Amino acid sequence: MVNNCIRTLYKKYGKQIEPYMFISPAFMILGFITLFPMIYVVYLSLYKIDLINPDVYIGLKNYTDFFRPVSLQTVKVTILYLLGSLFFTMVPGFLLALALNQKIRFSAFFRSISIVPWTITAVVAGVCWRWILSPDIGFLSYYIEKIFSFRPDFLYNPNWALLLIIIVDSWRSLGYVAVFILAGLQGIDPSLLEAARVDGADYRKIFRYIMLPLLTPSILVLLILMSMRALNMVDVVLVVTGGGPMRLTETLALHMYKESMSYFNIGYSSAVAVILLIINLVLAVVYFRMLGEKGGQS
Amino acid sequence: MNTINPQKVIRNIVVYTFLLLFIFFSLLPLLWMLSTSVKPEILTREFPPKIIPRIVTLENYKYLFEGSLIPRYLFNSLLMGFTTILGVLFFGTLAGYGFSRYEFRGKSVLLVLMLASVMISGATIIVPLYLMFLRLKLINTHFSLFLVYVVQALPISTWLLKAHFDSLPKALDEAAMLDGCSRLKILYQIIIPESIPGIGAVSLYTLVLVWREFIMASTFITKNELKTLPVGVYQFFTELGIEWGKLGATVMMAILPMTILFIMFQRHFNPAEISSGVK
């Protein structure tokens, strides 16, 4: 009887439910690990939480706490880090892509080597660079001093420390950026370039009037992706400087992490997380708009 | 007509110089680590530093395998990698098939939502996840990491798999259905065996993602014997940061397996595809 009932129900609605049965396991786990925590973090940001006593609702206090010099400092650091990281990955990455796109020997070898740092964990990258650029025992520091007769203090000077974070970051993602752009370059119809060459255009002109306009959409998409990556980067900053010296290289994401994991200010840390969440949301909307336009064009 | 074009020569010189400089920049830290890892401990602090070791020894590697937890960390990382791949393939092939073979209400929105949810959540979910796992008693279990890693790799894997399934003709499914095959049987016996390159790309991408992940692993796992390799290296650095030779050997252990694997298979890897899932 029940069996029959299910069978008739399935006959009636089965065709409509079927696709959802295929995709629902993925969405269940996705909802549990991303959607639910995102809602939960908004809740947490409105409470005072110490994990022993019950949570106390305190309205927007955690958010007003953000307007302290310590927190505002992290905004400044984040912007500097973001700009530096974008500049030092996108510009050399773009040049590298152009170089890899030339007809050269060993291009497969160069391409392989360039992507290797991308597979390396932030810890290893951080440890390696911290060591070779360490002011007193660093192997590279020694040669920098020999050549420029001055030794940058990457550990105790906040500006140099921030630069060290950017170096490590771009060391890891340069090759990724290059291969990403290279894929775009190789997608350009060769007959278009040939036609321009026949018409007497030199490389500079071809680059300026054909390659660059065709690449712009994928570069914009990449810019958004790299910005989101930099804004949400905790591990590199944590490993390279830990936010020091004197919390002067603490980015927004690291600030969020340390406030809960080191100082147990869970409510406040969640407020910072919500601010980051809003930035991510805005960037993601822009990203999908661009992706839609890019898809529409091709 | 075999005259040498001076402009071309200059361009080649510029291109090769740039590439060599770049290779130097990419490999220098790793070569330094390699060199230190085979030096006897006393010579690691030699000043001025020498990149070519004067004496080569394997005592650091011997120590790692006999007197440290590194083999354990290595095992944990591999375990996380393979279980995550299985998880991603399970959820990803089902969802990819659903998205590829059916037209249904909300399809395009759900596809975007999938990618967007992981992108938007970014680093902001670490703390709420920690609290959730604390309540569910999942802190210090590999299962917590498994869940997080599967979700991080799932959206792009699903998009990639969907794209691969799209390239197989629908007539394949229809013929099998006429023979009385169920949809699941079609997926596992016809579609998946035909999509091995896609499965491979997804597996490699997932493995790299798990292999390099640090922040979740160090937050959710504090028990020594459960740690993954990046966390192990970090601990080494903070605790025994002065024993450079051993640290160098650990670092080599943490990068060599993945680097070799990646160089072997990197032809199949296209980051543009992997970051947006669009083929």
Tell me the nearest-neighbour CA distance from B24 into chain A, angstroms: 10
Q: Give the pLDDT mean for A4-15.
A: 72
Confidence at B274, pLDDT banded by 50, 70, 90: low
What is the DSSP secondary structure assignment for residue A104, as one 8-state letter? -
Instruction: Write the ipTM.
Output: 0.90
pLDDT in tens, A208-238: 888 899 899 889 989 999 999 999 999 999 9
Q: Which residues of A97-109 are buried (b: 16+ CB within 10 A; e: fewer)?
A: bbbbbeeeeeeee
Establish if A252 touches chain B: CB-CB under 8 angstroms: no
Q: Is A231–B122 a contact, with Cβ atoms under 8 angstroms apart?
A: yes
Q: What is the pLDDT of residues B169-216, one digit of tens each?
A: 999 898 999 988 889 999 999 999 999 988 998 999 899 999 999 999
Output the pLDDT for position B278: 45
Q: What pLDDT, on the 0 to 100 scale, is given for residue A298? A: 39
CB contacts under 8 A, B 254-273 vs A, are: 254-255, 258-259, 262-263, 266-267, 269-273
Using the Cβ of B27 and the Cβ atoms of chain A, whether some distance falls under 8 Å is answered with yes
The domain segmentation of chain A, as residue ranges, is 2-44, 69-297
State how far residue A108 is from chain B, nearest Cα, in angstroms. 9
CB nearest B272 (choices: A51, A128, A183) = A183
Whether the pLDDT of residue A110 is over 90: the answer is no
CA distance A84 to A9: 60
What average pLDDT does range B157-179 have in this prediction?
Answer: 91
Q: Retrieve residue A265's tokens.
A: 């200010």
**Residues of chain A positioned with their CB less than 8 A from the CB of B201:** none
**What pLDDT shows up at residue B273?**
60
The highest-confidence range among A51-55, A92-96, B49-53, by mean pLDDT, is: A92-96
Q: How many CB atoms lie within 10 A of CB B242?
A: 10
Please choose, from the candidates A244, A235, A108, the residue with its C-alpha nearest in 3D space to the C-alpha of residue A172.
A235
> What is the pLDDT, as a whole number, of residue A66?
92
Pairs of CB atoms within 8 A across A/B: 279
Q: Looking at residues A138-146, what average pLDDT do you find? A: 86
State residue B103's pLDDT score: 92
The HSE-up count of residue B262 (CA atoms within 13 Å, CB side) is 23
pLDDT at A282: 96
Q: Which residue has the tokens 């660093």?
A: A138
Is B151 close to A274, i.e. CB distance below 8 A? Answer: no
Which of B214, B270, B275 is the closest to A122 by Cβ? B214
CA B91 to chain A, closest CA, distance in angstroms equals 5
Measure A18 CA to nearest chain B CA, in Å: 8
Q: Does A122 touch chain B (CB under 8 A)?
A: yes
Which part of chain B is CATH 1.10.3720.10?
Answer: 62-276
pLDDT band at residue B277, thresholds of 50, 70 and 90? very low
- B19 and A35 in contact by Cβ < 8 A? no
Given a cut of 70, whether residue B39 has pLDDT beyond it is yes
Dihedral sign from CA coordinates of A15, A21, A22, A24: positive
Dump pLDDT digits (tens) for A51-69.
788 888 998 999 999 999 8
Main-chain phi, psi angles of A67, to 5 degrees: -90, 50
Residue with tokens 């095959």: B181
Contact residues, chain B, for A29 at CB < 8 Å: 91, 147, 150-151, 154
Beta carbons of B95 and A22 less than 8 Å apart: yes
DSSP reduced 3-state for A120: coil
Among residues 102-121 of chain A, which lie with CB inside 8 Å of chain B? Answer: 102, 104, 108, 110-121
Task: Measure B41 CA to nearest chain A CA, in Å.
Answer: 14
A123 and B118 in contact by Cβ < 8 A?
no
Burial of B144 (C-beta count, 10 Å sphere; 0-12/13-18/19+): buried
Choose among A163, A134, A168, A166: nearest CA to A151.
A134
CA distance A35 to A30: 7
Terminal CA-CA length for chain B: 42
Which of B92, B271, B278 is nearest residue A176 as measured by Cβ atoms?
B271
- For residue B260, which residues of chain A lie inside 8 Å, CB to CB? none
R_g over Cα of chain B: 24
The reply to whether A79 touches chain B by the CB within 8 Å rule is no
Rounded CA separation B75/B42 (Å): 30
DSSP B11-60: HHHHHHHHHHHHHHHHHHHHHHHHHHHTS-GGGGG-SS--SS-SS---HH
Partner A, chain B 62-81, Cβ-Cβ below 8 Å? none
Question: Is residue B110 pLDDT above 50, yes or no?
Answer: yes
Query: Do B255 and A120 count as a contact with CB atoms less than 8 A apart?
Result: yes
Q: A291 in contact with B at a CB cutoff of 8 Å?
A: yes
Residue A108 has phi, psi (to 5 degrees) of -65, -40
Which chain A residue is nearest to residue B144, measuring alpha carbons? A33
End-to-end CA distance of chain A: 55
* A137 in contact with B, Cβ within 8 Å: yes
- Asked if residue A92 has pLDDT above 80, the reply is yes
Distance CA A174, CA A96 (A): 8
B120–A125 CB contact, under 8 Å: no
Q: What is the DSSP letter of B41?
A: G
Across chain A, what does the average pLDDT equal? Answer: 89
Q: How far is B97 from chain A (nearest CA, A)?
A: 7
CB B276 within 8 A of CB A221: yes
Interface with A, mutate which of B133, B192, B215, B251 (most A CBs under 10 A) = B215
The fold of the B62-276 domain, in CATH, is MetI-like fold (1.10.3720)
Q: Which residues pair with A56 in a beta bridge?
A: A48
Mutate to test the interface with B, among A47, A119, A207 (most CBs of B within 10 A): A119
Judge whether A282 is closer than 8 Å to chain B, CB to CB: no
A214 and B CB contact within 8 Å: no
Given an 8 Å threshold on Cβ–Cβ distance, is A102 in contact with B99?
Answer: no
CATH number belonging to domain A69-297: 1.10.3720.10
pLDDT at A141 > cutoff 80: yes
Chain B residue numbers touching A51 (CB-CB < 8 A): 131
Strands A56-57 and A47-48: antiparallel
Range scoring the smallest mean pLDDT among A106-120, B214-228, B263-277: B263-277
Q: How does DSSP assign B114-153, residue by residue? A: HHHHHHHHGGGGHHHHHHHHHHTT-TTSHHHHHHHHHHHH
Tell me the mean pLDDT in the region A139-162.
87
Whole-number average pLDDT of chain B: 88
